[in-house]
Amino acid sequence: MIRKPAVAGVFYESNPESLKNRIEWCFKHELGPGKIPTMGNKREIKGVMAPHAGYLYSGPIAAHSYYKIVEDGFPETFVILCPNHTGLGSGISTMLEGEWETPLGNVEIDTAFAKEMIEDAGIIDSDVSSHVREHSCEVHLPFLQYFSDDFKIVPVTMWIQDLETSYDIGNSIKKTAEALGTSVGIIASSDMTHYRPQNIAATNDKQVLDAIDAMDEKLMMKRVLDLNVTMCGYGPVASTIIASKGLGAQNAEVLKYATSGDLTGDYSAVVGYASAMFW
């Protein structure tokens, strides 16, 4: 099947040339990396965290993670872990086959990887309905497609985001990559605090990001709960930390933090955005 884009023309441009121009704008923006990266071949990065709002708001911050991914070189497969905003489908779901379409072309699902993950982690289902309207995986694809069409994806939505589930998913990514001998990069799709004043959002988000920087998924979860941080993808981030450490990551870095207010000038009720990497 072809999974059609759900938010082209809304979260990002639907015209291919306009979309490429927007992606370049994200990289060159004052809140972005400042320039467009060139493809490398080190393959040291195991996972990243990137936001998933409209490109006009979070694109420059997301570009920091993609700058590092491109410099590091693409793996064979990206496992994209994202929250389930729609409530459709099962608690944890992937897709086993087909392609995802964006204005920049189609991306193939890594069927072998998805099947192995389902077999290893009994909590994961194959459920197309979870993905049809969900934006938090889709928005990452054009950033990757701008640089290459030589990769596959495994999209995973997480409606259930507790720590035990995060360990199940993170460990299944590690085991699957090792069993299949597939080079893999993990993308945790998450925004930070939603719709709080700038000073509250930045203060609380910093405590969560400090835990991410320490690669401490338990402390991150605790701070999200204790501070009531409305971070929508804490499960995907925890799973990414767990999988990245399992695959050999020993370092982490929060690359950039900003809020929607830094883009719009309205600091009364902001959404926080952050990029981070694990290598």
Distance CA 237, CA 277 (A): 11
Instruction: Give the dihedral of Cα atoms 139, 145, 146, 148; nearest 10 deg.
Output: 160
Is 78's pLDDT higher than 90? yes
Distance CA 124, CA 119 (A): 8
Alpha helices in 106-252 (DSSP H): 111-120, 135-138, 141-145, 163-180, 198-213, 217-226, 234-246
**Bridge partners of residue 25, in order along the sequence:** none
Is 265's pLDDT higher than 90? yes
Q: Average of pLDDT values for 171-193?
A: 98
pLDDT band at 40, cuts 50/70/90?
A: very high
Among 121, 162, 138, smallest CA distance to 85 is for: 138
Distance CA 97, CA 1 (A): 7
Single pTM value for the model: 0.97
Higher pLDDT, 7 or 87: 7
